Structure 1
Amino acid sequence: MEIVLIGVGLAMDAVAVSMTNGMVYRNLGVKEYIAMPVFFGVFQAIMPLIGNFAGGLFTSFISKYAGIVILLILGVIGGKMIKEGFEHRSDPKKVAIGKRLSLGVLIFQAIATSIDAFAVGVGFSAMQVNIIQAVVIIAIVTIILTTIAIVIGRKFGDILGSSAEILGGVILVVIGIKAIIT
């Protein structure tokens, strides 16, 4: 049960980003609906696994710079979304037609939202947790929650129209700022 709750906590950034993607990327196909939860789930599983095996070797480095890396990645993606949102306000149909979720953006989002899971993996090492069982549970929890978030984001995107892109960008920037503050 504790691992499930840790999985929920770790998944929250991925959930927020998935909801944002659902709002902003209006032309998501089946491939994207599957890729997002899988990428977020896999990265949420890989990072604690790496942290578990790395033990204390990189903990101070990752802890020291994780917030900056997250802010840079999500800040750039979010800032670009805000800029494009204002540009697309004059032509709302342009957003639905031209906005595509690229593999590169998805990978950067998955990395940025899973960096904190590295430290959890280090903690798992110290607690002698069954790491394989833990990362499988974390991945499954993340996949389920991000799938739900994409659908919810899609509904909000339909309601908000072209403003969804601006709101989505703001959400990503706020997550980045939160990462540097905590």
Structure 2
Amino acid sequence: MEAIALVGELITLSIMAFALGMDAFSVGLGMGMLPLRLKQIAKIGVVIGLFHMLMPLGGMLIGHFISEYFGAIATLVGGTLLLLLGFQMIVSSFDKNEEPFVTPVGFGMLVFAVSVSLDSFSVGLSLGIYGARMLLTICLFGFFSMILTWAGLLMGRKFQHWLGSYSELLGGSILLGFGIKLLI
């Protein structure tokens, strides 16, 4: 009976991890429009995976006390960050002499990682109340988000080659649209 419950929890958590990882995929698709090396893409995926482990871990530890209040704030902050990143990419696409203000390198990578993993904090709060297995949860969240981030970045990189000078505009539009989706 315990094995059946574990398999059920594994399937449920895997579906949730995939759904949360799709956020990272979508944003990775937009950020992949920037000229990135494969080494940068690998590093970004690992960082996003780590943040998708740390954020739900923090949420699970905090649990029941502030779940409703903080969940809404996390979504607002994440959506706002994506709006700002998308808007900046769109603006910089019209000015070819200037480097993007925020790129997924250094501080920009931190902003990028936080923006795509804030929603996993909210989910962690809910799972903390539910009593999900913490280690299993954070490992699945990290794994799926890392793989899906890599997939999004690599697809975005491919589209960037096809779209040429319009790729940054498209990437910014994707981030902007995803930020609006989070806020609405």
Identify the TM-score tier after normalising by the shorter chain.
0.7 to 0.9
TM-score of the pair, normalised by structure 2: 0.86
1:83 corresponds to which of 78, 91, 109 = 91
Q: Structure 1 residue 12 and structure 2 residue 22: aligned? A: yes
**For residue 111 of structure 2, what is the aligned residue in structure 1?**
108
TM-score of the pair, normalised by structure 1: 0.87
- Which whole-Å CA distance do the structure 1 matches of 2:104 and 2:73 have between them? 27
Three-state SS of the structure 2 residue aligned to 1:161 is helix
1:4 is displaced (CA, Å) by: 1.1
**For residue 123 of structure 1, what is the aligned residue in structure 2?**
126
1:180 is displaced (CA, Å) by: 1.0
Q: Structure 1 residue 47 and structure 2 residue 52: aligned? A: no
Q: Deviations over 1:114-168 (max 9, x none)?
A: 1111121122222221111111011111111111221111110000111110111
- Specify whether residues 101 and 63 from structure 1 end up closer, same or farther in structure 2 by C-alpha distance, changes over 3 A only: closer
Q: Deviations over 1:87-133 (max 9, x none)?
A: 22xxxxx68xx555422111111111111111211222222211111
1:175 is displaced (CA, Å) by: 1.0
Q: Structure 1 residue 158 and structure 2 residue 161: aligned? A: yes
* One-letter amino acid of the structure 1 residue matched with residue 29 of structure 2: M
- Specify whether residues 71 and 123 from structure 1 end up closer, same or farther in structure 2 by C-alpha distance, changes over 3 A only: closer
**Where in structure 1 are there 5+ consecutive unaligned residues?**
89-93
Q: Structure 1 residue 33 and structure 2 residue 38: aligned? A: no
Q: Percent of aligned positions with the same letter in both sequences?
A: 29
1:72 is displaced (CA, Å) by: 2.1
Contact 2:44-2:104 at 8 Å conserved across structures: no
- Which whole-Å CA distance do the structure 2 matches of 1:45 and 1:21 have between them? 21
Aligned residues: 172
Contact 1:18-1:36 at 8 Å conserved across structures: no
Q: Structure 1 residue 134 and structure 2 residue 162: aligned? A: no
- Which whole-Å CA distance do the structure 2 matches of 1:116 and 1:67 have between them? 6
Contact 2:24-2:145 at 8 Å conserved across structures: yes
* One-letter amino acid of the structure 1 residue matched with residue 180 of structure 2: I
1:167 corresponds to which of 159, 170, 174 = 170
* One-letter amino acid of the structure 2 residue matched with residue 11 of structure 1: G
RMSD after superposition: 1.7
